[in-house]
Amino acid sequence: MSDSSLRLVWVYPDLLSTYGDQGNALVVERRARQRGLGVTRVDVRSDQPVPTSGDIYLIGGGEDRPQRLAAERLRRDGGLARAASNGAIIFSVCAGYQILGHEFINDLGEREPGLGLLDVVSTRGDGERCVGDVLADIDPRLGLPQLTGFENHQGITHLGPTARPFARTVLGKGNGTGDGTEGAYNDTVFGTYMHGPVMARNPQIADLLLKLALDVNALPPTDDRWYEALRAERIAAATQPA
């Protein structure tokens, strides 16, 4: 795989990078290099145009005002939407996940248009925030082990008919709708509320994005002992009685 090369784009780290979500970019980059893949990582700040030639785009979480600013600039820029139409792989977390939907509630209490790359609509819940560890079974069609992560959000995300649940919760609130769904995806665009960072806890997600970007069914094996130890530790901590 040494002849292959990938372009990894980390979108708006100055606005959307809470709870260590930039770790997702580090994990994808490392997992690629472990397979001998050449990787060019591009960190795109909010005052820069989003390139349309990337293979994998990552978006993190953020507070309410930065989320609104990010949505406004992404709509105006148009680069991420064009990349999606070209078949790029996009993985988003929390505020980034809401931005990829049709709309969400911004810091002014108003409905803010999203990018419409996922068939979801996010509102703001009236009850307690969704906070704590999450365990969830990822859609079997994706062929991944149980998801472990950490959620901290007030939003509630409703899935439309063309969005598939990324996972079904065993523990935690997920999308907050009470139906057990967590996140959403279509063929190339993914969203989740999971921090952690989620790919450090679940490196198989990074591998999935790599396989989709390379259009291959499998990747060479790597040494996953560190990742598996972290997964086991976090799953055990989440399932221990309070």
Residues known to be catalytic: 94, 195
Residues 169 and 192: their CA atoms lie apart, in Å, by 12
User: Which spans in 14-138 are helix H?
Assistant: 23-34, 64-77, 79-85, 95-100
Residues 116 and 138: their CA atoms lie apart, in Å, by 23
Residues 216 and 207: their CA atoms lie apart, in Å, by 11
Q: Are strands 184-185 and 189-192 parallel, antiparallel or unpaired?
A: antiparallel
Residues 209 and 216: their CA atoms lie apart, in Å, by 10
Residues 26 and 107: their CA atoms lie apart, in Å, by 30
Question: Nearest Cα to 58, choosing from 34, 29, 35?
Answer: 29
Annotated binding site for substrate: 129
Annotated binding site: 129
Which phi and psi angles does 59 have, rounded to 5°? Answer: -135, 135
- Residue 10: count of CB within 10 angstroms of its CB: 25
Q: What single DSSP character describes residue 178?
A: S
